[in-house]
Amino acid sequence: GESVGLHLPTLSVQEGDNSIINCAYSNSASDYFIWYKQESGKGPQFIIDIRSNMDKRQGQRVTVLLNKTVKHLSLQIAATQPGDSAVYFCAENYGQNFVFGPGTRLSVLP
Amino acid sequence: EAQVTQNPRYLITVTGKKLTVTCSQNMNHEYMSWYRQDPGLGLRQIYYSMNVEVTDKGDVPEGYKVSRKEKRNFPLILESPSPNQTSLYFCASSFHGGATEAFFGQGTRLTVV
């Protein structure tokens, strides 16, 4: 597969545990945020998004928390499964475009 | 199926030989963009387009060209590729730029020797 993040921070969790992946964003004017999942050899896939008028949004097994005061975003994955192993990165909008975080590699241990 | 399609998936070429990477989306999105992804540097924007015939430079446009003659297509052109353009390239599209989610293609692994 593609080696997209040789120097990424890695989070290792036991299968069945909850995972928390963090992201610090830079622009206080950003009002839309997205979490993406990138599996080896594939393009980034949308997981969940949140707008700045919210501080929490839940999806299926995933929750995104937004703390605008400290410009922090987190992704919580409940009951982590082997299929969750991937690189996760956040994106903040910046004018017409997005700025992407460096990513975190999630490794799920059996 | 809604998708962004890039071709080719893999390409090895020699320095100076012009090449084009195609990108097509079937979602009627106005916004399209090209990124390169390098280890330790994350996704960096090369060029983007807000609509037909409207293109703008991203963060790393040097050595690249794009065109947007039709809404669905956004090819990336390397007129004279160099080894420092060896990278993993992604095309993405969305309805309205930074206001809606971006859909990504599967990527093109380019090696310039």
Residue A69 pLDDT level (bands cut at 50, 70, 90): very high
Residue B5 in contact with partner chain A when CB distance is under 8 A = no
Which chain B residues are Cβ-neighbours of A91 within 8 angstroms?
Answer: 102
* Distance (Å, whole) CA A53 – CA A36: 20
| Inter-chain CB proximity A89 and B43 less than 8 Å | yes
% of chain A exceeding 70 in pLDDT: 94
Q: What is the mean pLDDT of chain A?
A: 91
Helix H or strand E segment including A12: strand A10-14
Nearest CA in chain B to A52: B99
Please give the average per-residue pLDDT across B67-91, as a whole number: 98
Interface test with B, best of A40, A96, A104 (most B CBs within 10 A): A96
- Check if the beta carbon of residue B4 is closer than 8 Å to that of residue A46: no
Residue B4 in contact with partner chain A when CB distance is under 8 A = yes
| Inter-chain CB proximity B42 and A7 less than 8 Å | no
- Check if the beta carbon of residue A19 is closer than 8 Å to that of residue A77: yes
* Nearest one of A11, A28, A12, A9 to A73, comparing CA atoms: A28
Full DSSP string of A45-78: EEEEEEETT-SEEE-SSEEEEEETTTTEEEEEES
- Check if the beta carbon of residue B20 is closer than 8 Å to that of residue B77: yes
Q: What is the mean pLDDT of chain B?
A: 96
Which chain B residues are Cβ-neighbours of A103 within 8 angstroms?
Answer: 42
Please give the average per-residue pLDDT across A26-41, as a whole number: 93
Please give the average per-residue pLDDT across A60-73, as a whole number: 96
More confident residue, A1 or A62: A62
Please give the average per-residue pLDDT across A59-70, as a whole number: 96
3-state SS class at B99: helix
Per-residue pLDDT, B2: 83
* Distance (Å, whole) CA B105 – CA A61: 25
Which chain B residues are Cβ-neighbours of A36 within 8 angstroms?
Answer: 104
Q: In chain B, positions 82-101, which contact chain A (CB-CB < 8 Å)?
A: 88, 90, 97-99, 101
**Is residue A5 scored above 90 in pLDDT?**
no
Per-residue pLDDT, B25: 98
Residue B45 in contact with partner chain A when CB distance is under 8 A = yes
- Check if the beta carbon of residue A46 is closer than 8 Å to that of residue A34: yes
* Structure-block tokens of residue A82: 């082997």
Cβ partners under 8 Å of residue A94, min gap 6: A27, A30, B98
**Is residue A38 scored above 50 in pLDDT?**
yes
| Inter-chain CB proximity B98 and A95 less than 8 Å | yes
Please give the average per-residue pLDDT across A90-106, as a whole number: 91
| Inter-chain CB proximity B98 and A96 less than 8 Å | yes
